[in-house]
Amino acid sequence: MQAGKIKDALKHGVLFYEVQKKFSKLGINLEVFYLVSEGDFEAPPEWSERFEAYTSCILRRDEMEVIAADHPWDNLAGLRRRCDLGHICIGLKHGNDVVAFTWADLKECNHAPLRFDLSENEAYLYDAFTIPSFRGKSLAPFMRERCYSHLRTLGRDRYYSISAYFNKPSIQFKEKLNASFDKLYFSVGRNSGSTRTFKLREYRPPT
């Protein structure tokens, strides 16, 4: 990387992303990420009026076509496969339209560099998404709270998620949810599938 690009990357806080791109071209994937614990969050009273036009629900396998066109990370077959594996998709609707959704895996943390089995009261939350035309309305934390509510009815009251270390919006979002950043990891993997993950720091004893 040229000196000028390095200086600009440092200035804008994106140096690691530039390094990631360089290594990715070589077939090497780098990640620095937090394991986050969620669930210690209650909805503000004013949300009942502010978001009264929205309803939440669990989307079934035969409803995956509703979100497939807008889903940025998987296609229809992949989404249905998630349902077949027991993953749950919680959707937020405005009228009849799904405007936001998130996924929950009840069996394992399925983040490739850090897979581990979950207990019966736990869930791993991933792939949260709000369609572009509904962004800027503070739907993300409301969607998360609705997700917690649905999962509690299933006996799940402890939630894990992953946040990239350099993803400031994700960090700020989790902070709004009173989430705990438990551990910091670094992983290096090859496109062939082999990955090594190293714990860099633990912020609190595991509970």
Tell me, what's the pLDDT at 107? 97
CATH code at 78? 3.40.630.30
Tell me, what's the pLDDT at 47? 85
What is the total count of domains within the chain? 1
Residue pLDDT, tens place only, 50-60: 999 999 999 99
Range of weakest confidence among 25-34, 79-88, 132-141: 25-34
pTM over 0.95: no
| Residue 21 included in any domain | yes
In this structure, are strands 158-164 and 122-130 parallel, antiparallel, or unpaired? parallel
| Residue 104 included in any domain | yes
Q: Domain limits at 66?
A: 3-202
CA 91, chain centre distance (Å): 14
In angstroms, the CA 140 to CA 130 distance is: 7
| Residue 207 included in any domain | no
Q: How confident is the model at residue 72 (pLDDT cuts 50, 70, 90)?
A: confident
| Residue 154 included in any domain | yes
Contacts for 86 with CB less than 8 Å, ≥ 6 apart: 105, 106, 107
Beta bridge partners of 180: 37
